[in-house]
Amino acid sequence: MKIATWNVNSIRVRLPHVKDFVHVQSPDVLLLQELKAQDKDIPISDLEDLGYNVIYKGQKAYNGVAILSKHPIEDVNDKLYSNTENDEQARYIECWIDAKNSGFRIASIYLPNGNPINTEKFDYKIDWMNKLKKRSKQLLDNEECVILGGDFNVCPEDRDAANPENMRNDALFQPESRAKLREIINLGYYDAWRAINPDITEWSYWDYGRAFEQNKGLRIDHFLLSPIALDRLESIEINKYHRSLERPSDHAPVIINISD
DNA sequence: ATGGCTTTCTACGAAAGA
């Protein structure tokens, strides 16, 4: 079972990359973030034509998240797949994927950036993380296979940035942001990258400009796994291919394989 | 470190991203 997450920075501009990614990688489930389109402008039929069931939450101009699945999506009901406490911006969508005897709950997460610090934007980020923490805790109660994937907009540690000293005043790097992410993980989740790679860091985001050619980036796109999901984890990869092409997203897809 | 990119919008500059 292959599951990918990708902040595409506009689904309309990136649709050719998404199509190519699907043809190359053929993930069973693809989590998308930063669609930057309201519902009516999301190219749903193009995504369905790739062989996926699609649920989505769009918003005008900003944000927007989706889950694409080759397997049946259950709970297709807004009350079930929304985190209703975090609904004012389209940053969270969640569902149960029914994959015969090996189903799992999964969320596509686009956590607020929070810059600049010392503003209401940073406060919004922390508030949003508190609500995510509450939902994350609920999801552990049933001892299910739970997969939280997406753009978390937090570098967990200094080593998750190429230039940590340049990031000291950035919302992605604040002790408060990191502490809140740790609080969520400490409920009982595992950072899939660190579970497989305790000593190796790769970037999932590079600023537009020269950052990619200089390989100076951040690791901010994550998969958090419940214990049962961790037991099923086989591999993880940050795939840089589409980041190297013309007109790329500034993020690379992160791909995990879990046992069926 | 920033916006030096990129994308979006009741658009032609400003906001947001990270």
Whether this prediction's pTM lies above 0.85 is answered by yes
State how far the Cα of A198 lies from the Cα of A90, in Å rounded to an integer. 33
Beta-carbon-side half-sphere exposure of residue A82 (alpha carbons within 13 Å): 13
**What percent of chain A has a predicted confidence (pLDDT) above 70?**
95
Query: Cis omega (within 30 of 0) on the bond before A116?
Result: yes
Three-state secondary structure call for residue A20: helix
Three-state secondary structure call for residue A108: strand
State how far the Cα of A257 lies from the Cα of A260, in Å rounded to an integer. 9
Give the closest residue to B2 (Cα–C1′). Answer: A166
DSSP A191-224: EHHHHH-SS----SB--TTTTTTTT--B--EEEE
Instruction: Say if residue A173's pLDDT is above 70.
Output: yes
Instruction: Say if residue A85's pLDDT is above 70.
Output: no
Residue A66's φ and ψ, nearest 5 degrees, are -150, 160
Asked whether residue A31's C-beta has any atom of DNA/RNA strand B within 7 A, the reply is: no
Q: Centre a 10 Å sphere on the Cβ of residue A40 and count the other Cβ atoms it contains.
A: 8
Asked whether residue A116's C-beta has any atom of DNA/RNA strand B within 7 A, the reply is: yes
Question: B10 C1' – A61 CA distance, angstroms?
Answer: 13
Confidence (pLDDT) at A82: 58
A2-258 fold: Deoxyribonuclease I; Chain A (3.60.10)
Asked whether residue A60's C-beta has any atom of DNA/RNA strand B within 7 A, the reply is: yes
For residues A101 and A85, which has the higher predicted lDDT (pLDDT)? A101
> Which bases on strand B have an atom closer than 7 Å to a protein beta carbon?
1-10, 16-18
A221-225/A190-191 β-pairing: antiparallel
State how far the Cα of A165 lies from the Cα of A129, in Å rounded to an integer. 24
Question: B1 C1' – A166 CA distance, angstroms?
Answer: 6
Nucleotide nearest to A165 (CA to C1'): B1
Question: B7 C1' – A241 CA distance, angstroms?
Answer: 21
Are A184 and A132 in contact by the 8 Å Cβ rule? The answer is: yes
- Render pLDDT for A178-234 as a digit per residue (tens, 0 to 9): 999 999 999 999 999 999 999 999 999 999 999 999 999 999 999 999 999 999 999
Work out the angle at residue A236's Cα, subtended by the Cα atoms of residues A36 and A42, and round it to the nearest 5 degrees. 20
A46-59: string of b/e by CB count within 10 Å (b at 16+)?
Answer: ebeebebbbbbbbb
Nucleotide nearest to A220 (CA to C1'): B18
Asked whether residue A112's C-beta has any atom of DNA/RNA strand B within 7 A, the reply is: yes
